[in-house]
Amino acid sequence: MDEKPSLRWGVERKLEFIEFRLFWEGYVNRSDLIETFNESANQASSDLNRYLTLAPDNMTYDKSARTYVRASAFKPLFLKPDASFYLSQVRSLGDGLLDQRASWIGNVPEFGSIPFPARGVLPPVLRAIVVAIRRREAIEICYQSMSSSDPQWRWIAPHALGFDGFRWHARAFCEKDGLFKDFVLSRIAETRHSRQSVAQASDDSAWHDLVSLDIGAHPSLSDGQRRAIELDYGMVDGAVRIPVRRALLYYALKRLGLDTDPSARKPKDQQIVLLNAADVMGLVGNGGTS
Protein backbone atom coordinates (compact mmCIF):
# COMPACT_ATOMS: atom_id res chain seq x y z
CA MET A 1 0.00 0.00 0.00
CA ASP A 2 3.04 2.28 0.00
CA GLU A 3 3.08 2.84 -3.76
CA LYS A 4 0.22 4.66 -5.44
CA PRO A 5 -1.18 2.64 -8.37
CA SER A 6 -1.46 4.14 -11.85
CA LEU A 7 -5.14 4.72 -12.67
CA ARG A 8 -7.28 6.81 -14.98
CA TRP A 9 -7.82 10.36 -13.70
CA GLY A 10 -11.57 9.91 -13.20
CA VAL A 11 -11.12 6.69 -11.23
CA GLU A 12 -8.32 8.14 -9.13
CA ARG A 13 -10.43 11.22 -8.40
CA LYS A 14 -13.19 9.08 -6.88
CA LEU A 15 -10.71 7.08 -4.82
CA GLU A 16 -9.20 10.32 -3.58
CA PHE A 17 -12.70 11.47 -2.59
CA ILE A 18 -13.25 8.27 -0.60
CA GLU A 19 -9.99 8.88 1.20
CA PHE A 20 -10.88 12.56 1.82
CA ARG A 21 -14.11 11.57 3.54
CA LEU A 22 -12.39 8.84 5.54
CA PHE A 23 -9.59 11.14 6.71
CA TRP A 24 -11.64 14.24 7.57
CA GLU A 25 -15.00 12.77 8.56
CA GLY A 26 -14.21 9.18 9.51
CA TYR A 27 -16.71 7.48 7.22
CA VAL A 28 -17.96 7.24 3.65
CA ASN A 29 -20.90 5.50 1.98
CA ARG A 30 -22.43 4.89 -1.41
CA SER A 31 -24.72 7.91 -1.26
CA ASP A 32 -21.69 10.21 -0.90
CA LEU A 33 -20.32 8.99 -4.21
CA ILE A 34 -23.73 9.03 -5.87
CA GLU A 35 -24.37 12.67 -4.90
CA THR A 36 -20.86 13.93 -5.62
CA PHE A 37 -20.19 12.18 -8.92
CA ASN A 38 -23.77 11.68 -10.11
CA GLU A 39 -23.20 7.96 -10.60
CA SER A 40 -25.35 4.88 -10.11
CA ALA A 41 -25.54 2.85 -6.92
CA ASN A 42 -23.80 -0.05 -8.67
CA GLN A 43 -20.94 2.18 -9.77
CA ALA A 44 -20.60 3.60 -6.25
CA SER A 45 -20.37 0.07 -4.83
CA SER A 46 -17.78 -0.77 -7.46
CA ASP A 47 -15.69 2.27 -6.51
CA LEU A 48 -15.81 1.37 -2.81
CA ASN A 49 -14.83 -2.22 -3.56
CA ARG A 50 -11.97 -1.01 -5.76
CA TYR A 51 -10.70 1.15 -2.91
CA LEU A 52 -10.93 -1.79 -0.50
CA THR A 53 -8.89 -3.91 -2.89
CA LEU A 54 -6.16 -1.27 -3.20
CA ALA A 55 -6.16 -0.18 0.47
CA PRO A 56 -7.66 -3.06 2.52
CA ASP A 57 -6.33 -1.73 5.83
CA ASN A 58 -7.84 1.74 5.45
CA MET A 59 -11.54 1.13 6.08
CA THR A 60 -13.98 -1.40 7.45
CA TYR A 61 -17.72 -1.81 7.06
CA ASP A 62 -19.85 -0.93 10.08
CA LYS A 63 -22.97 -3.08 9.72
CA SER A 64 -24.95 -1.24 12.39
CA ALA A 65 -24.30 2.20 10.82
CA ARG A 66 -24.38 0.71 7.31
CA THR A 67 -21.35 2.72 6.25
CA TYR A 68 -17.61 2.34 5.77
CA VAL A 69 -15.51 3.79 8.57
CA ARG A 70 -11.86 4.73 8.86
CA ALA A 71 -9.73 1.90 10.21
CA SER A 72 -7.13 2.40 12.94
CA ALA A 73 -4.37 1.46 10.49
CA PHE A 74 -5.51 4.10 7.98
CA LYS A 75 -2.68 5.46 5.82
CA PRO A 76 -3.46 7.81 2.91
CA LEU A 77 -2.66 6.36 -0.48
CA PHE A 78 -4.32 8.81 -2.91
CA LEU A 79 -4.72 11.90 -0.74
CA LYS A 80 -2.18 14.28 0.72
CA PRO A 81 -4.12 15.74 3.66
CA ASP A 82 -3.78 19.52 3.67
CA ALA A 83 -5.19 21.51 6.58
CA SER A 84 -4.87 24.81 4.71
CA PHE A 85 -6.88 23.44 1.78
CA TYR A 86 -9.59 22.12 4.11
CA LEU A 87 -9.86 25.41 5.99
CA SER A 88 -9.92 27.44 2.77
CA GLN A 89 -12.90 25.36 1.64
CA VAL A 90 -14.62 25.91 5.00
CA ARG A 91 -14.10 29.64 4.63
CA SER A 92 -15.29 29.67 1.01
CA LEU A 93 -18.41 27.69 1.97
CA GLY A 94 -19.09 29.92 4.97
CA ASP A 95 -18.67 33.09 2.93
CA GLY A 96 -20.93 31.77 0.18
CA LEU A 97 -18.13 31.77 -2.39
CA LEU A 98 -18.30 28.01 -2.93
CA ASP A 99 -21.40 25.89 -3.46
CA GLN A 100 -21.74 22.87 -1.17
CA ARG A 101 -21.94 20.63 -4.23
CA ALA A 102 -18.51 21.84 -5.34
CA SER A 103 -16.87 20.82 -2.07
CA TRP A 104 -15.95 17.37 -0.79
CA ILE A 105 -16.73 18.36 2.80
CA GLY A 106 -19.87 16.51 3.83
CA ASN A 107 -20.47 18.06 7.25
CA VAL A 108 -19.28 21.64 7.32
CA PRO A 109 -18.32 22.76 10.85
CA GLU A 110 -19.90 25.91 12.24
CA PHE A 111 -17.84 28.78 10.91
CA GLY A 112 -17.44 32.49 11.48
CA SER A 113 -14.96 35.08 10.23
CA ILE A 114 -14.28 38.78 10.46
CA PRO A 115 -16.40 40.46 7.78
CA PHE A 116 -14.75 42.86 5.36
CA PRO A 117 -16.49 45.39 3.13
CA ALA A 118 -17.24 43.92 -0.27
CA ARG A 119 -14.89 45.12 -3.00
CA GLY A 120 -17.00 46.13 -5.98
CA VAL A 121 -14.99 44.65 -8.83
CA LEU A 122 -17.14 44.81 -11.96
CA PRO A 123 -17.22 41.47 -13.84
CA PRO A 124 -16.82 43.09 -17.30
CA VAL A 125 -13.79 45.00 -16.00
CA LEU A 126 -12.20 41.87 -14.55
CA ARG A 127 -12.88 39.98 -17.79
CA ALA A 128 -11.25 42.72 -19.85
CA ILE A 129 -8.16 42.78 -17.60
CA VAL A 130 -7.81 38.98 -17.70
CA VAL A 131 -8.15 38.97 -21.50
CA ALA A 132 -5.50 41.69 -21.77
CA ILE A 133 -3.15 39.66 -19.58
CA ARG A 134 -3.70 36.54 -21.65
CA ARG A 135 -3.22 38.36 -24.97
CA ARG A 136 -0.37 40.53 -23.66
CA GLU A 137 -2.22 43.65 -24.70
CA ALA A 138 -2.52 47.19 -23.38
CA ILE A 139 -5.99 48.33 -22.39
CA GLU A 140 -7.52 51.73 -21.79
CA ILE A 141 -9.16 52.06 -18.38
CA CYS A 142 -11.15 54.75 -16.61
CA TYR A 143 -9.41 54.79 -13.23
CA GLN A 144 -9.95 56.69 -10.00
CA SER A 145 -6.51 57.34 -8.59
CA MET A 146 -6.05 58.66 -5.07
CA SER A 147 -3.71 61.29 -6.48
CA SER A 148 -6.47 62.92 -8.54
CA SER A 149 -9.93 64.22 -7.71
CA ASP A 150 -11.69 62.71 -10.73
CA PRO A 151 -11.35 59.45 -12.67
CA GLN A 152 -9.17 59.61 -15.76
CA TRP A 153 -8.66 57.47 -18.83
CA ARG A 154 -5.22 55.93 -19.12
CA TRP A 155 -3.47 53.08 -20.91
CA ILE A 156 -2.05 50.21 -18.88
CA ALA A 157 -0.50 46.89 -19.88
CA PRO A 158 -1.49 44.35 -17.21
CA HIS A 159 0.52 41.15 -16.86
CA ALA A 160 -0.65 39.69 -13.53
CA LEU A 161 -3.23 39.84 -10.76
CA GLY A 162 -2.23 40.49 -7.16
CA PHE A 163 -4.02 40.21 -3.82
CA ASP A 164 -2.88 42.07 -0.71
CA GLY A 165 -5.21 40.30 1.71
CA PHE A 166 -8.02 42.81 1.26
CA ARG A 167 -8.02 44.07 -2.32
CA TRP A 168 -7.35 42.67 -5.77
CA HIS A 169 -4.95 44.53 -8.04
CA ALA A 170 -3.86 44.42 -11.64
CA ARG A 171 -0.08 44.55 -11.85
CA ALA A 172 0.54 46.60 -14.95
CA PHE A 173 2.81 48.98 -16.80
CA CYS A 174 1.32 52.47 -16.69
CA GLU A 175 1.99 54.31 -19.94
CA LYS A 176 1.14 57.64 -18.32
CA ASP A 177 3.73 57.34 -15.55
CA GLY A 178 6.16 55.09 -17.43
CA LEU A 179 6.51 52.46 -14.69
CA PHE A 180 4.98 49.27 -13.33
CA LYS A 181 2.31 49.85 -10.67
CA ASP A 182 -0.66 48.23 -8.94
CA PHE A 183 -4.14 49.24 -10.03
CA VAL A 184 -6.97 48.41 -7.61
CA LEU A 185 -9.57 46.55 -9.66
CA SER A 186 -12.51 48.05 -7.80
CA ARG A 187 -11.33 51.55 -8.81
CA ILE A 188 -11.60 50.76 -12.53
CA ALA A 189 -14.99 52.13 -13.62
CA GLU A 190 -14.86 50.84 -17.20
CA THR A 191 -12.57 49.79 -20.02
CA ARG A 192 -12.67 50.45 -23.72
CA HIS A 193 -9.98 50.10 -26.40
CA SER A 194 -7.14 47.60 -26.42
CA ARG A 195 -4.03 47.27 -28.57
CA GLN A 196 -0.69 45.52 -28.70
CA SER A 197 1.44 46.32 -25.68
CA VAL A 198 4.94 47.72 -25.96
CA ALA A 199 5.75 46.77 -22.35
CA GLN A 200 7.35 43.46 -21.44
CA ALA A 201 6.28 41.66 -18.25
CA SER A 202 9.87 40.47 -17.86
CA ASP A 203 10.91 44.10 -17.28
CA ASP A 204 8.87 44.27 -14.07
CA SER A 205 11.77 43.36 -11.80
CA ALA A 206 9.83 44.20 -8.63
CA TRP A 207 7.26 41.55 -9.56
CA HIS A 208 9.79 38.85 -10.38
CA ASP A 209 12.26 39.50 -7.55
CA LEU A 210 11.63 37.50 -4.38
CA VAL A 211 12.39 38.83 -0.92
CA SER A 212 12.70 36.49 2.06
CA LEU A 213 11.03 37.53 5.31
CA ASP A 214 12.67 35.76 8.24
CA ILE A 215 10.06 35.75 10.99
CA GLY A 216 10.65 34.88 14.63
CA ALA A 217 8.70 35.07 17.89
CA HIS A 218 9.06 38.31 19.83
CA PRO A 219 12.10 37.86 22.12
CA SER A 220 10.32 39.41 25.10
CA LEU A 221 7.65 36.69 25.21
CA SER A 222 7.92 33.92 27.77
CA ASP A 223 9.28 30.52 26.72
CA GLY A 224 5.76 29.10 26.61
CA GLN A 225 4.41 32.04 24.61
CA ARG A 226 7.29 31.79 22.13
CA ARG A 227 6.62 28.08 21.62
CA ALA A 228 2.95 28.84 20.94
CA ILE A 229 3.88 31.46 18.32
CA GLU A 230 6.41 29.09 16.75
CA LEU A 231 3.65 26.51 16.36
CA ASP A 232 1.25 29.14 14.96
CA TYR A 233 3.67 30.02 12.18
CA GLY A 234 5.25 26.60 11.64
CA MET A 235 8.66 27.82 12.76
CA VAL A 236 11.68 25.54 12.84
CA ASP A 237 14.55 26.39 15.20
CA GLY A 238 12.72 29.55 16.17
CA ALA A 239 12.21 30.99 12.70
CA VAL A 240 10.29 30.64 9.45
CA ARG A 241 11.21 32.05 6.05
CA ILE A 242 8.39 33.55 3.97
CA PRO A 243 9.18 34.39 0.33
CA VAL A 244 7.27 37.36 -1.08
CA ARG A 245 7.43 39.27 -4.34
CA ARG A 246 9.19 42.61 -3.87
CA ALA A 247 6.18 44.30 -5.48
CA LEU A 248 4.00 42.90 -2.69
CA LEU A 249 6.47 43.50 0.14
CA TYR A 250 4.72 46.64 1.42
CA TYR A 251 1.42 44.77 1.70
CA ALA A 252 2.99 41.69 3.29
CA LEU A 253 4.70 43.68 6.04
CA LYS A 254 1.52 45.64 6.72
CA ARG A 255 -0.59 42.47 6.87
CA LEU A 256 1.85 40.82 9.30
CA GLY A 257 2.09 43.96 11.46
CA LEU A 258 5.80 44.27 10.69
CA ASP A 259 5.64 47.69 9.04
CA THR A 260 6.28 49.55 12.30
CA ASP A 261 8.90 49.39 15.06
CA PRO A 262 8.09 46.30 17.17
CA SER A 263 8.90 48.25 20.33
CA ALA A 264 5.85 50.43 19.68
CA ARG A 265 3.52 47.59 20.76
CA LYS A 266 3.42 45.21 23.68
CA PRO A 267 5.13 41.86 22.97
CA LYS A 268 1.88 39.92 23.45
CA ASP A 269 0.27 42.15 20.82
CA GLN A 270 3.21 42.26 18.39
CA GLN A 271 4.01 38.52 18.82
CA ILE A 272 6.42 38.29 15.85
CA VAL A 273 9.46 40.23 14.69
CA LEU A 274 11.34 40.51 11.43
CA LEU A 275 14.73 38.92 12.03
CA ASN A 276 16.30 40.28 8.85
CA ALA A 277 14.79 43.77 9.07
CA ALA A 278 18.09 45.42 8.13
CA ASP A 279 18.05 43.61 4.77
CA VAL A 280 14.33 44.00 4.07
CA MET A 281 13.17 47.44 5.15
CA GLY A 282 15.33 49.26 2.59
CA LEU A 283 13.48 47.44 -0.19
CA VAL A 284 10.04 48.70 0.85
CA GLY A 285 8.34 51.23 -1.39
CA ASN A 286 4.80 52.49 -1.06
CA GLY A 287 3.30 49.39 -2.62
CA GLY A 288 3.16 50.96 -6.06
CA THR A 289 -0.61 51.48 -5.83
CA SER A 290 -2.02 54.19 -8.04
Question: Which pLDDT tens digit goes with each residue over 46-92?
Answer: 999 999 999 999 999 999 999 999 999 999 999 999 999 999 999 88
163 three-class SS: strand
253, 237 Cβ separation under 8 angstroms: no
Q: How much of the chain exceeds pLDDT 70, in percent?
A: 94
131, 140 Cβ separation under 8 angstroms: no
Predicted local confidence at residue 179, as pLDDT: 95
Judged against a pLDDT cut of 70, whether residue 2 lies above it is answered with: no
Judged against a pLDDT cut of 70, whether residue 289 lies above it is answered with: no
Judged against a pLDDT cut of 60, whether residue 286 lies above it is answered with: no
pTM greater than the 0.85 cutoff: no
List of residues 6+ apart from 59 with CB closer than 8 A: 18, 22, 28, 51, 52, 68, 69, 70, 71, 74
* Angle, CA of 90, 95 and 100, to the nearest 5°: 55
- Best-predicted range by mean pLDDT among 70-74, 96-100, 144-148? 70-74
Band the pLDDT of 101: cuts 50, 70, 90. confident
Question: Which pLDDT tens digit goes with each residue over 31-44?
Answer: 999 999 999 999 99
Cα–Cα distance measured from residue 286 to residue 101, given in angstroms and rounded to the nearest whole number: 42
Q: Tell me how crowded residue 36 is: count the other CB atoms within 10 A of its CB.
A: 19
Predicted local confidence at residue 10, as pLDDT: 83
267, 220 Cβ separation under 8 angstroms: yes
Band the pLDDT of 118: cuts 50, 70, 90. low
Judged against a pLDDT cut of 80, whether residue 115 lies above it is answered with: no
39, 78 Cβ separation under 8 angstroms: no
Up-side HSE of residue 42: CA atoms within 13 Å toward CB?
A: 0
Residue type at position 265? R
Judged against a pLDDT cut of 60, whether residue 287 lies above it is answered with: no
Q: Which domains occur in the chain, in start order?
A: 9-81 (1.10.10.10), 123-198 (2.30.30), 206-283 (no CATH)
Cα–Cα distance measured from residue 116 to residue 239, given in angstroms and rounded to the nearest whole number: 30
Predicted local confidence at residue 6, as pLDDT: 65
Query: Where are any strands of DSSP class E within 43-151?
Result: 59-62, 67-70, 137-143
Rounded to an integer, the average pLDDT of 172-196 is: 95
Cα–Cα distance measured from residue 179 to residue 63, given in angstroms and rounded to the nearest whole number: 67
Judged against a pLDDT cut of 90, whether residue 117 lies above it is answered with: no
Cα–Cα distance measured from residue 22 to residue 163, given in angstroms and rounded to the nearest whole number: 34
